[in-house]
Amino acid sequence: MQYTYPEPADVGIQIPPHLMVDRFSSGFLHALKGGQLTEVEMMRLSFREGFRAGKLYLRDLRREMGILEFPMKAQVRIRACH
């Protein structure tokens, strides 16, 4: 199944003039696909800002849909001693 993801301009996000448009859009799309920042190229400012905008857009979209987030996101490790 092929998905269609919106561009930043389609959802009302304006790209600041000091950022690279293609990198910003790549970061935005990567966030919408559920990716994580794992590579060196992803640490560049334009990509990170696009990624952040994508994550914030998803959070707002989920809130509008009534999907609530848990107050704490953490991993719990339990170790049994004998």
Ordered by start, the domain boundaries in the chain are 8-65
Between CA 27 and CA 35 the distance in angstroms is: 9
Between CA 28 and CA 45 the distance in angstroms is: 12
46 membership: H or E segment, kind and range: helix 45-65
**What one-character DSSP code corresponds to residue 75?**
-
pLDDT, residue 77, reads: 83
pLDDT averaged per 10 residues, the chain (length 82): 91 95 97 94 96 96 85 78 76
Instruction: Please report which residue ranges of 1-82 form alpha helices under DSSP H.
Output: 21-32, 45-65
Between CA 51 and CA 15 the distance in angstroms is: 12
